[in-house]
Amino acid sequence: MNMGSEYKNLRVFVTGAGGFIGSHLVEALVEAGANVRALARYTSRGNWGHLEQLSPEIRNFLEVVLGDVRDAQFVRNHIRGCDVVFHLAALIGIPYSYEAPESYFDTNLRGTLNLLQAAREAGVRRVVVTSTSEVYGTARYTPIDEGHPLQAQSPYSASKIAADKLAESYHLSFALPVVVVRPFNTYGPRQSARAVIPTIFSQLLAGGNLLQLGALEPVRDLVYVSDTVRGFLRAGVESRAVGQVINLGTGQGISIGDLAHVIMKIVGREVPIVNATERVRPEASEVRLLVANAKLAKTTLGWEPQVSLQEGLQRVAEYIGGNMAAFRVSSYAV
């Protein structure tokens, strides 16, 4: 994933760097020659999150800072001197947003406000803000383009809609060079067990005789993480992207039930699927259909997905098979 000379020696700040997509983005930025300051959330354990899984060759070229985007002064201190900012820090688990909605707005909205204000004061060249396809809610039409109405079907999606609109306001009010990237359902190595693909693989690879899932009917547009990262990288340097909201998706949907059977074939085990009530969203909150129209990404960023679903799932199977100790299949990860 070589971006040529576009990122060479650029000073890049990545929030949420210890997360799933963030760690892959950091890896790609270092490989592209960027000077990366990676923000991972502070804990007393001093853990770097998924950054700890990167090779020593990558980690040795990182400046890792531990902190929290909710602290405005902290963000201001560490964004100084940076050229490009990728903002991925967020609380992301939808089920937990039913239990603790205030924490989602505190991190996802206040954290974004702190980031945008600090970037404005620092005069950065580009801010890429991470959105989510969940902001669309159940599709009113497909494929979903960027003009589709926004529907807050969970406290999580409401917090992300608010953050997206805040980013838009900073572009229109203060000419901050913002791009909002809206990935559809990204999957790949390092994704947590709370996501459906790791959930299915880990249960099957653990040898269970049942597969416990929530609703099987929802349809999702699945994007492999390296493709999502390529979209982020393009958004960070393409001048035509400024001020835009840009979907990243394949345009192909698959139901959770059909996905489970595809994964069973990859693993080589067919087991009954059982509906687990704790995994089911409230009826009106369940997003039934998400399939992207990503034409704007193609025309503006020159981006198209490259990894097929079958190839991507094979890579995930290999990763989870080699890291089963990280997955607690006996309990539900919210």
DSSP string for 70-114 = T-HHHHHHHHTT-SEEEE------HHHHHH-HHHHHIIIIIHHHH
Contact 163, 262 (CB under 8 A): no
Among residues 154, 39, 20, the alpha carbon closest in space to that of 87 is found at 39
Burial of residue 266 (number of CB atoms within 10 Å: 0-12, 13-18, 19+): middle
Structure tokens at 250: 């394949």
Our answer to whether residue 7 is catalytic in this structure is no
Instruction: Find the catalytic residue in 156, 170, 187, 224.
Output: 156
- Provide the CB-side half-sphere exposure for 55 (13 A, CA): 6
Among residues 243, 263, 245, the alpha carbon closest in space to that of 254 is found at 263
The neighbouring-strand residues paired with 129 are 87, 180
- What positions carry a catalytic annotation? 156
